[in-house]
Chain A
Amino acid sequence: MTQIVIIGGGQAAGQAVASLRQEGFEGKIVLIGEESTLPYQRPPLSKAYLSGAVPAEKLLVRPEKFYEDRDVEVHLGTTVTAISSDQKTVTTADGTFDFDKLLIATGSTPRKLSIPGSDLNGIHYLRTMADVDAIRAQMADAKRLCIVGGGYIGLEVASVAVSAGLSVDVLEMEARILQRVTTPFMSAFYHQLHEGRGVKIHTETGCSGFRGTDQGVTHVQCGDAEIEADLVIVGIGIVPNIQLALDAGLACDNGITVDDHCQTSHPDIYAAGDCTNHPNPILGRRLRLESVPNAMDQARTSAANMLGGDKTYAAVPWFWSDQYELKLQMLGFSADADAAVLRGDPETLQFAQFYLFDGKVVAIDAVNSPKEFMVAKQLFGHSVAADDLANPEVDLKSLLPSA
């Protein structure tokens, strides 16, 4: 085999390049990314990069020299316009590339609002380094930020912005923030946390439009009510980038359909990251995940299998979120549980909520509790006495399967 093409320039693409070389592939690697930046870490964008604590060069997953030294042909700022699965070519404005194997790592795009005024200056989405550069440029002079969407991105931005002295409103359509992704208990905890820090949260409040001047947005409209804002960040979810795959005739269903080897419906085409709909053999169902660990693991799996390996992707999903001085680490899905066990006291901002199904650990939300998170990783799928988990006097080590 001589040539592998990777479409995408995110963390899955970056990891795939590294894994291919690490696995000993000596042929040509072509990476085609739409953004103008080499693969970088996305999670800090709504956290330390937004706050200014971490500079851009620290976000690159590997330095520019890495790609030169490893002989990777990198095309940045380049849009792929078509994949031909029959001819095994990828077409861009710059030309056409042949591939023996192709990895689609196109990621996802923020869901857009299409309501009156949504193209006013000062209204942003947050996905790329360029997005955050634009936000930061306006944040310096902004007074009133309105965040549309009470998900993790929105709440991370809220914590940075209110800490920087801005007035912050969060609009959430559902009855509680984080409704799609966590339990009422955790929603209530974060609601209280943010309100305590000065963020105003408006639940059951949809955004119906924006009002402004030539200079930019001045008001966010919620039905009959209006909220003043000179900066707006919309975080209402993402949609997987599957159009190229669809046009190429690959099977897609809420993501590019892959098997547990990250192979699409075409044997020479693989996919990794946010854009995939993949089976999870541990959970026994298909998932589409918006998660860095998933992107990295699928990239490693794809790389091994494109080179003729037989690697299965089977991992328990995990996520993290930093807000204020709180580090939240999550494993599994709390929606799978029939019982919850609290260890620690939320008032101290250090606690873990374990989730069980049929007496077995299926998920955890750990706030400033890395040890509990690591325990849950090892206890996943194992039966454990709820009373022991809840009792801070019981040493967590004694609960491990090997103990």
Chain B
Amino acid sequence: MGDLVSNLSLGFGVALTPVNLALAFLGCLVGTLIGVLPGVGPIATIAMLLPITFGLDPVGALIMLAGIYYGAQYGGSTTAILVNIPGEATSVVTALDGHQMARQGRAGVALGIAAIGSFFAGTVATLVIAALGAPLTGLALIFGPTEYFSLMVMGLVFAVVLARGSILKAIAMILVGVLLSTVGTDLETGEERMTFGLPFLADGIDFAVLAMGIFGIAEIMRNLDHTEHRDVVRQAIGRLLPNMDDFKQAYKPVLRGTFIGSLLGILPGNGAVLGPFAAYTLEKKLAKDPQRFGRGAIEGVAGPESANNAGAQTSFIPLLTLGIPPNAVMALMVGAMTIHGIIPGPQVMTKSPTLFWGMIASMWIGNLMLLIINLPLVGMWVRLLKVPYRLMFPAILMFCCIGIYSINSLPTDVMFIGLFGLMGYMLIKFGFEPAPLLLGFVLGRLMEENLRRALIISRGDLWTFITKTIPMRMSEFWGSIFNGTLCRPATPAMGGQESPGFVCGYPLSATLLAIAAFVLILALLPSIRKGRDEVFTE
């Protein structure tokens, strides 16, 4: 504990220097701006700004880049609430209820609770990183291909449960998403699949392209054919500070969202994306009246918003402690570090403590800045969005095109957002929810790869998903119960000399699959009942 305090004070000493404060501020501001503007994501921005950081010292450079990343999370929610375009994959769920709140004239409250929830989550996540960074690195290593596949299955089941309306349609959307994710060069054999011989499809469909097309472009098209919907964002924002009732409704979702987000953010393979989805599902399931969800429930904003910010921050843990980037933004951070001669890895914490703790302290400062600069600035963002739609949409389109082009410098990517826009528009018209498609797409590729990896390693044995266990130290009590089956006495080679005990195999993969099955049954039962009721009443 004393270590934690001295480490954090070292960090704040670094983060509070005027230069680093200014860089954190700049990063947060740029991040919010690009988060608000649909079509320019943090990946493109960080990639473009990398050369500029050459002249800075490494701590300052990373503080600024980190600010852009979590600033974008904040900004992304602003557009999700005000114009129903999630600026980031993690704010997809925020749009569901946040935008409904905006339509009811409660945009200010939605923005306010998003900001406050995010700040709270950010504070907790910062403490989590500081306190648990080192011990938690073990978690990343527990998840092998087998466990990861089971986790993905669980994630997709959650996505089905989360979807509004028909479960059948949600499953269909997930399958389309999974199918789209298989386009491209096969990882194991190098054969091309479903590319029609087109070279630009050889690397598959880019996530940003799909997301921007299906959410961004489709939304613009939908806005254009409903004239009456255009002035949605022009409605009054209303008061920003939530009242006591709002707080009462929101504080528990904030706590739960923070917990879920922090936990999932640590997982490698972009676990942070799962956070908001999981938080939303949980809130919907816990709510007394789930009908309110999708119609402007404040819990539907508070939970996912806290989860996405917590996840954004804890996803630094695998990077800072293991040097393994969990997502594309973190991969860029690795680049930024190596450019400055710092090789990310377990030794960063001991070799460059000022960098490690300085960055952590700056995260909290950044969150505070975001809260302070964003709430008053909401007026400015709104004014930006009050610009007549006939002027807005060409600008958004242009930003989308530039943003997409800047990621891979491929003209075909720009054409594809048009194509996916058309597809998204049709999906909306036919009453399909595009969010499960996107999740299916993100998880599909990981799921397939981990499934095949697990099977290759088990030499084709499907039982591996049920029988594979991870070693865990257990107390004498549990160890003696399962002795011989799951557990065996610890040997000195396993570090057993300090304390007698048992090393047990925990079937993590089977547990995850069991949770998935349980949740699916839970979700299916009432809907089967409801479906039958409807048939009967008609």
Chain B associates with chain A: no
Q: A: which residues have CB within 8 A of B?
A: none
Q: B: which residues have CB within 8 A of A?
A: none
